[in-house]
């Protein structure tokens, strides 16, 4: 086998140990190489030899092809990061909604307990108001009965009303011609 020129694609795509885009670009290059091999086998019926790779390698190390590998890697990484962020945001949203629901339920339960406690007090208050109104009505009836049914009280009041009516007619006689 003849010595081939060294085209270190790895060194051209990966600029450092933390170059994630470069590593992903190198994986894309390797996938491209596998596709070349499978296509070669299908068309030629045999595995490619080293000499068959020369054109593939030369076309893979051109600046435009290296740029395409990195751009593809950047796009894949962006899509995956966006999907991961979207999933995480959805999870956070669900957790946040559960928290809100829990807090609302807890406070709703507290409010319901307070309302129930005061509802019992309100019914007591309503009952006391009805009882006091009833007692006041009875007291008024008793005062009315004793005030107007006693002989002197009823006669006195009746005489006073009749005298007031007669006096007002005597002092101010009704003149039918003076009515306008």
The domain segmentation of the chain, as residue ranges, is: 5-104, 110-167
Query: Is the pTM here over 0.95, yes or no?
Result: no
Give the pLDDT of residue 177. 55
Give the pLDDT of residue 20. 94
Conformational region of residue 2, where left means phi above 0, alpha means psi within -120 to 50, and beta covers everything else: beta
* 132-150 per-residue burial string, b: 16 or more CB within 10 A, e: under 16: eeeeeeeeeeeeeeeeeee
Give the pLDDT of residue 63. 92
Cα separation values, 154 from 59, 108, 145, 164, Å: 129, 63, 10, 15
Give the pLDDT of residue 4. 45
Give the pLDDT of residue 70. 95
User: Contact 61/7 with Cβ under 8 angstroms?
Assistant: yes
User: Contact 70/15 with Cβ under 8 angstroms?
Assistant: no
Give the pLDDT of residue 1. 39
The neighbour count for residue 56, using CB atoms within 10 Å, is 15
DSSP state of 72: H
Q: Which residues of the chain have pLDDT under 50?
A: 1-6
Give the pLDDT of residue 3. 42
Give the pLDDT of residue 41. 93
């Amino acid at each position: 086998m003849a010595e081939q020129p060294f085209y270190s694609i790895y060194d051209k795509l990966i600029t450092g140990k933390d170059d994630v885009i470069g590593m992903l670009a190198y994986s894309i290059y390797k996938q491209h190489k596998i596709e070349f091999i499978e296509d070669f086998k299908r068309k030629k019926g045999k595995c490619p030899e080293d000499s068959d790779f020369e054109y593939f390698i030369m076309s893979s190390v051109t600046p435009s092809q290296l740029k395409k590998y990195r751009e593809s890697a950047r796009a894949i990484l962006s899509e995956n990061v966006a999907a991961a962020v979207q999933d995480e945001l959805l999870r956070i949203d669900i957790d946040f909604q559960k928290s809100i629901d829990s807090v609302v339920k807890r406070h709703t339960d507290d409010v319901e307990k307070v309302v129930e406690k005061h509802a019992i007090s309100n019914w007591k208050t309503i009952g006391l108001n009805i009882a006091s109104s009833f007692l006041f009505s009875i007291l008024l009836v008793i005062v009315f009965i004793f005030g107007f049914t006693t002989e002197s009280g009823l006669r006195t009041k009746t005489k006073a009303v009749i005298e007031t009516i007669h006096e007002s007619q005597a002092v101010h006689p009704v003149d039918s011609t003076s009515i306008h």
